[in-house]
Amino acid sequence: MGNEEKITYLRGTPDLKQKSKRAAKLTYAFNSRSPDEETKREELLKELLGKCGQQISIEHNFHCDLGYNLEVGENFYAGFNFTVLDMAKVIIGDNCMIGPNVGIYTAGHSIQPVDRTKDGYAIPITIGNDVWIGGSCTILAGVTIGDNSIVAAGSVVTKDVPSNTIVAGNPAKRIKDIE
């Protein structure tokens, strides 16, 4: 996979709780705003996210772990129920569209039962420019999705997606190149 930088963290530490609470407050404020309050919604996203371009639109019921690890480019759109577990960096390029009910998950945990609740790990995710991710997709830790690619609705992306490729399925597999 493209992003091999594995970050470990301890659950329940005061620092992590504080950072999570900050993100929870900001996402609550964002999700509580009327669609007519576009300026306030944009201000909240700019405060929450690590970086965001112009013309960014995220629909109601957006959630993230920390917020500051999420960077989105210009002309970004995410549909309803967008969830990002951003314990590690998530970088999304310009001109990307994400359908409803999409989850982007950098976080994981030990497979050993005794350690599962104590700590976790996270691996960054990178999504290139001009990418379209269909509804109800899951993007897993460490994945890179190349420029101009399409992830078909309902796909589970477990491995890197080359540029100019359409993938589909669980796990997602290449179904077509984009000429």
Active-site positions? 109
* Alpha-carbon dihedral sign for residues 119, 101, 163, 156: positive
CB atoms within 10 A of CB 179: 4
DSSP β-ladder status, 7-10 and 119-122: antiparallel
Contacts of 55 (CB under 8 A, 6+ apart): 74, 75, 76
* Alpha-carbon dihedral sign for residues 79, 1, 48, 14: positive
Helix (H) or strand (E) holding 47: helix 38-48
Please check whether residue 4 is in contact with residue 142, taking contact to mean a CB–CB distance below 8 angstroms.
yes
> In the β-sheet with 56-58, what is the strand arrangement from edge to edge?
56-58, 76-78, 97-98, 132-133, 150-151, 165-168, 173-177
